[in-house]
Each structure stands twice: as C-alpha cells, then as structure tokens.
Amino acid sequence: MKNGRFPEDPMKIADTQMRSVWSISTPAPSDKEFGKHPTQKPLSLLKRIVAASTNEGDIISDPFNGSVTTGMATKILGNRQYIGIDMNLE
Ligand SMILES: C[S@@+](CC[C@H](N)C(=O)[O-])C[C@H]1O[C@@H](n2cnc3c(N)ncnc32)[C@H](O)[C@@H]1O
C-alpha cells in the first residue's frame, strides 16, 4: 500500500503510508460497460481492498456478488482465485 500507485486518489501521496481516508470517485462509465447495477462499487476501490487484504494464492469470496466488482478486482490483480455468490441469477 505504501509503495503502490493510486493515481485515482488525489489524497494518496506516492511512497507515503496509506491514509485511513481514501478519495475514490463513484464507478467510472467504463465500470458499467456490461450493464448497470444499482449499488455497484468502484473497481478502483475493490482493487485496493483486495490488494491490501490478500496475498497471492488466496481464494477471495464475495457472497454478495452483485456486478462482480470484487471478482474483476481479483482477476486484474492476478494469482488469486475468486468465488462469487448471489441470490439474484441476473
Ligand atoms: C450491494 S449489492 C453488491 C454490489 C457489489 N459489491 C458490486 O460492486 O456490484 C448486494 C448483492 O447481494 C445480493 N444478496 C443480498 N442478500 C443476499 C443473500 N442473502 N444471499 C445471496 N446474495 C444476496 C443481492 O442480490 C445483490 O446483488
């Protein structure tokens, strides 16, 4: 987190400790490329959460899958597996 690059967050200064307050915008239009979900989270937020809280080789599960933002973040980070669960088949 300290050495990562987070250009979407104007509050994160390069090579300084991660702050406890993050500045991340609502989902970008590109996040909604495959359809809209009413409570979709920003991909940049989930990428940071998954990177901060998992290691390579881990299995990440989101039992409230929604539009699969956590799964996309896992795929982008790589070297992790993902299990998504949702009561809504759509
Ligand atoms: C807040 S949305 C998830 C949004 C997701 N994090 C994203 O970024 O798109 C919550 C999801 O949980 C699902 N859900 C709610 N209660 C559930 C339950 N008891 N079991 C499985 N899925 C559930 C809903 O269908 C909905 O898609």
Q: Which tens digit of pLDDT belongs to each residue from 56-89?
A: 999 999 999 999 999 999 999 999 999 999 999 8
User: Percentage of residues in the chain with pLDDT exceeding 70?
Assistant: 100
Residues pairing with 6 in the sheet:
none
Go through the chain and tell me how many residues it has.
90
Distance of alpha carbon 31 from alpha carbon 43, whole angstroms: 7
User: In whole numbers, what is the pLDDT of the chain averaged over residues?
Assistant: 93
Average pLDDT over residues 7-23: 93
Using the predicted structure, report yes or no on whether residue 48 has a pLDDT greater than 90: yes
Q: Measure CA 67 to chain center.
A: 12
Residue among 48, 87, 89, 90 whose CB has most ligand 1 atoms within 8 A, to mutate: 87
Q: Please provide the DSSP assignment of 14-46 as one string.
A: TTSPPPSS---PSPPGGGGTT---TTPPPHHHH
* pLDDT per residue as tens digits for the range 28-38: 888 888 888 88
Nearest CA to ligand 1 atom 15: 64
Cα 18 to ligand 1 centroid, rounded to whole Å: 28
Residue nearest to atom 26 of ligand 1 (CA): 66
Give residues with Cβ within 8 angstroms of 6, minimum separation 6.
Answer: 12, 44, 48
